[in-house]
Structure 1
């Protein structure tokens, strides 16, 4: 068997599960995943002896783990393919990557940081008009434009699927946790690029079932999302919660100085 190396984020393992559903791929490759966002090192000799290298594009700021640097280590005889790194803020347009708290919402954080009470924060957050304060249409266009820039690195095209279907079905559980539809699509196209016949993946389970980040009902209404409304309950680390209940937990945690929001949510 040939050695296959996959350099990817949290999407790498569920993607590999789908690739291995192809008998021909599974028979040919022994696969190893290295997690890029934690800067997991790839030992000397691993890339140098691989027969297949699948990687999410990383720029020069990643230094020794930058894609161009890693590709220099791969033998000329090996197959290489840049694979998707899917990210979408359309369901959570006010998402923030600011460190110190999980699943940040910049608008909710601003209300909390203004020194308001929990009741005042929730009233303004839930009843204030988001579309009057924020250009939700522009924010959607921006996330799609950014994703097309990322997509340009890979022959596997997927943004059209997001743009076509994000209103009719939930495509992401969080900004970087795509659901089965997108991962099945990516795996299918990767297998085609490698010359394999893709299997039927319709029965593959949700790759990230533990947390369905709730969607603000006003965002759902603005984008005409057909699969969600104010009464929708989401799986929040084993607890069923509506958006209002989730937002209340967020405010409680922030005001209490909690830094591990995931653990706080899991405690129900």
Structure 2
């Protein structure tokens, strides 16, 4: 039981590595609902676990060794992915700002005591679709979670080498090694589930109502994502 908890904790801790957090943080800036962000984290974890398990089957089950240099190149791919994620997020933000207009309207109502009140309402008009429609001031991203799953897959490729080698050196049988990887994966799913929920809080409708501050946070997270991506590429290729 203690060994199981330690393995889950190891996976949870692995999910909180900087490149993982930056990628998922960049993804959840598209969300205005915590439940959608939580699903992003879950799909990232499933993709990450799937890749590590497949690599584990290849290296443990079929006893095929993969050169350490290959995993260095895959780490560089993670860096490139972070750069692309950051750039795409910035373009989405720019596109949203250029293709939206806010309209205001007011209406009055009179109370029984004769006092009249005027209420102002703001609506944002988006041109991002052929059939434009009125939406309230907060815009939610697509509910498609394929991106989060794909990001998890790539992260799993990059980090699987050292984990599988560790498992090979510690576990007595192939089945035991693959079971360890699955339990580790469960821990990483839980970890990213928690992280994505926490990161999404500033972008929910009810918490942070300043659109300018939200934009600033998106720009900051995207910039850090891009810079860290270049750092990873430099570390692994140069």
TM-score by length of 2: 0.27
Q: Which has the higher helix share?
A: 2
Greater radius of gyration (CA): 2
Higher relative contact order (CA 8 A, sep 6+): 2
